């Protein structure tokens, strides 16, 4: 199916045209001009960063600083700033890959697993907590004493991490926190995400080759056939019931909050024009978890009403959260909690919006189609479907496609957006499911009676808006 033309933040032209793919030969600089243009791209983007901080009345924080910056959360960045940062990440990586020894680069990439391994050591030992009140740093002997780890081995772990800019070695064998390691303090949800990813998820990911090359599990889309199952003997659904998993359950909950923080969950109120909705507009959050996303809309848009739908056990958490955060909304029935099995049942009928955030990425296409068909049975004319997901791009320049990086950068921003493609691997490892391209979402929506309307840039993620097809 052809890809509609698309403009961020503007009504898309739904006139369909076949995307024109250009060969990628220009994507990698192979000559001095390519290198110079990468340097110029970096230089221009740095000017944007300095100017945005300046406008906010801040100096750009140094990597050594542990003070919170005004733009640490993705939702606090303007689109211009997040684009500049993404560009710098992409161009710096591309420039070094273009000039360094290919063998060195591949060695760095293949030894990459020592970084997660070391991050898990320091998270579990709470090294960032130990260093929290020590801006001038602490000698490794004291850090070792406070954490119970061997001094020599911990020193080597910290030195490798400091070499990768997480922690700093202030003077020989004296380490301090920096802008990155401060996020590893145990109270920070990002530390929960780091612990979860570098521990149980990592121990599944190492079996990706075995899972993909086995003639039974390779082509399978079953959650029973993932690399995670090879690593742990059970799927993520069952893992947290095992003795080993139970020990990690609290961290898993913290990791989910960390995931929201990293992906900019707070973008939803900012990127969609909720202010234009009529009083009484109802949003049904399908697979809404504990309803935390809709809570973000309550204060800025008091004209909205909410239905949270999820499995009965999860809905109990939603009732508890809303009862604590917005008891007024619960008492006035401005929010309701309706149990749902979205594979077998239809959500509450005739809502104005059906919103699904990070629901479809858990499932292969056939299951997603079941969910969307059930949503379609609930809609009324004029209802809208909003899918809030990560949106992948091919690494190929396409006319009229999503926002593309300037040449000679990779059109999907390469390392500036690599988290999306890593998260796609994550879904493969955990569930045999996937993140998708816009085109894949459009095709799936069409199949279930929805027409693509517009894509809203929400930083790391995007909101894909559909309207109901006149006749299915
Ligand atoms: C990845 S979470 C996303 C939660 C929430 N939308 C968010 O963005 O935080 C997927 C949600 O789907 C829910 N879910 C899984 N299977 C379900 C089913 N058969 N019916 C309804 N909800 C289900 C889970 O309980 C979970 O809350």
Nearest CA to 412 out of 400, 423, 403 is that of 403
Query: What's the structural domain count of the chain?
Result: 3
Same domain, 180 and 217: no
Instruction: Identify the pLDDT of residue 31.
Output: 73
Q: Which two tokens stand for residue 64?
A: 């050594």
Task: Answer whether 387's CB lies under 8 Å from 461's CB.
Answer: no
pTM for the whole structure:
0.90
Same domain, 372 and 335: yes
329 lines ligand 1 (CB under 6 A): no
Instruction: Identify the pLDDT of residue 79.
Output: 86
Same domain, 246 and 360: no
Same domain, 175 and 224: no
Provide the residue range defining the domain that includes 122: 116-184
Same domain, 255 and 344: no
Nearest CA to 164 out of 104, 132, 119 is that of 119
Distance CA 21, CA 279 (A): 45
Same domain, 168 and 127: yes
Q: How far, CA to CA in Å, does 261 sit from each of 15, 114, 129, 265, 459?
A: 36, 25, 20, 6, 12
Instruction: Identify the pLDDT of residue 32.
Output: 73
Instruction: Identify the pLDDT of residue 30.
Output: 57
Domain boundary among 161, 184, 207: 184
Domain boundary among 184, 208, 243: 184
Same domain, 153 and 195: no
Minimum CA distance residue for ligand 1 atom 13: 287
Instruction: Identify the pLDDT of residue 364.
Output: 94
Q: Which two tokens stand for residue 431?
A: 């569930």
Instruction: Identify the pLDDT of residue 400.
Output: 66
341 lines ligand 1 (CB under 6 A): yes
Maximum Cα interatomic distance, the chain, rounded to a whole number of Å? 72
Position 126 in a domain: yes
Same domain, 400 and 285: yes
pLDDT in tens, 291-319: 999 999 999 999 999 999 999 999 999 99
Distance CA 195, CA 200 (A): 8
Same domain, 209 and 147: no
363 lines ligand 1 (CB under 6 A): no
Same domain, 328 and 361: yes
347 lines ligand 1 (CB under 6 A): no
Instruction: Identify the pLDDT of residue 341.
Output: 97
User: Which atom of ligand 1 is nearest to 290's Cα?
Assistant: 27
User: Which atom of ligand 1 is nearest to 343's Cα?
Assistant: 19
- Concatenated DSSP letters of 102-130: HHHHHHHHHGGGHHHHHHHHHHHTTHHHH
Domain boundary among 201, 230, 260: 260
**Backbone phi and psi for residue 201, each to the nearest 5 degrees, phi listed first:** -70, -45
Q: Buried (b) or exposed (e) across 318-354, using 16+ Cβ within 10 A?
A: beebbeeebeebbeeebbebeebebeeeebbeebbbb
Position 165 in a domain: yes
Distance CA 192, CA 194 (A): 5
Instruction: Give the residues of the chain that fall short of pLDDT 70.
Output: 1-30, 400-401, 472
């Amino acid at each position: 199916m052809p890809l509609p033309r698309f403009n961020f933040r503007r009504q898309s032209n739904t006139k369909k045209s076949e995307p024109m793919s250009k060969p990628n030969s220009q994507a990698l600089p192979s000559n001095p001009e390519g290198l110079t243009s990468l340097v110029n791209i970096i230089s221009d983007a740095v000017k944007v960063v300095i100017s945005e901080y300046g406008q906010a009345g801040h100096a750009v924080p140094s990597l050594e600083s542990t003070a919170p910056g005004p733009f640490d959360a993705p939702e606090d960045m303007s689109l211009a700033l997040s684009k500049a940062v993404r560009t710098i990440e992409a161009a710096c990586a591309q420039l070094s890959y273009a000039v360094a020894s290919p063998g060195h680069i591949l060695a760095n990439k293949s030894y990459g697993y020592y970084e997660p391994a070391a991050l898990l050591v320091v998270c579990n030992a709470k090294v960032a907590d130990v260093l929290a009140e020590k801006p001038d740093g602490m000698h490794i002997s004291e850090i070792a004493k406070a954490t119970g780890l061997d001094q020599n081995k911990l020193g080597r772990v910290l030195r490798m991490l400091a070499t990768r800019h997480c922690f700093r070695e202030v003077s020989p064998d004296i380490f301090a926190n920096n802008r990155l390691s401060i996020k590893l303090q145990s109270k920070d949800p990002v530390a929960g995400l780091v612990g979860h990813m570098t521990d149980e998820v990592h121990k599944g990911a190492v079996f990706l080759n075995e899972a993909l090359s086995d003639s039974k599990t390779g082509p399978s889309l079953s959650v029973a056939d993932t690399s995670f199952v090879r690593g742990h003997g059970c799927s993520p659904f069952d893992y947290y019931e095992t003795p080993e998993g139970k020990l990690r359950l609290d961290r898993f909950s913290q990791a989910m909050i960390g995931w929201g923080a990293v992906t900019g969950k707070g973008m939803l109120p900012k990127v969609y024009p909720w202010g234009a909705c009529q009083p009484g507009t109802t949003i049904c959050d399908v697979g809404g978890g504990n309803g935390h996303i809709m809570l973000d809309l309550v204060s800025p848009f008091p004209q909205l009403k909410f239905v949270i739908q999820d499995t009965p056990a999860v809905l109990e958490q939603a009732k508890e959260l809303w009862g604590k955060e917005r008891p007024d909304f619960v008492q006035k029935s401005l929010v309701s909690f309706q149990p749902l099995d979205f594979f077998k049942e239809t959500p509450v009928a005739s809502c104005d919006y059906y919103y699904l955030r990070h629901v479809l990425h858990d499932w292969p296409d056939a299951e997603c189609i079941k969910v969307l068909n059930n949503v379609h049975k609930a809609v009324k004319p004029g209802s809208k479907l909003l899918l809030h997901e990560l949106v992948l791009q091919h690494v190929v320049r396409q006319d009229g496609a999503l926002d593309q990086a300037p040449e000679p950068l990779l059109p999907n921003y390469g390392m500036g957006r690599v988290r999306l493609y890593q998260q796609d691997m994550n879904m493969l490892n955990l569930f045999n499911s996937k993140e998708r391209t816009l085109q894949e979402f459009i095709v799936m929506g069409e199949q279930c009676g929805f027409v693509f309307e517009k894509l809203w840039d929400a930083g790391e993620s995007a909101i894909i808006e559909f309207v109901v097809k006149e006749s299915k």
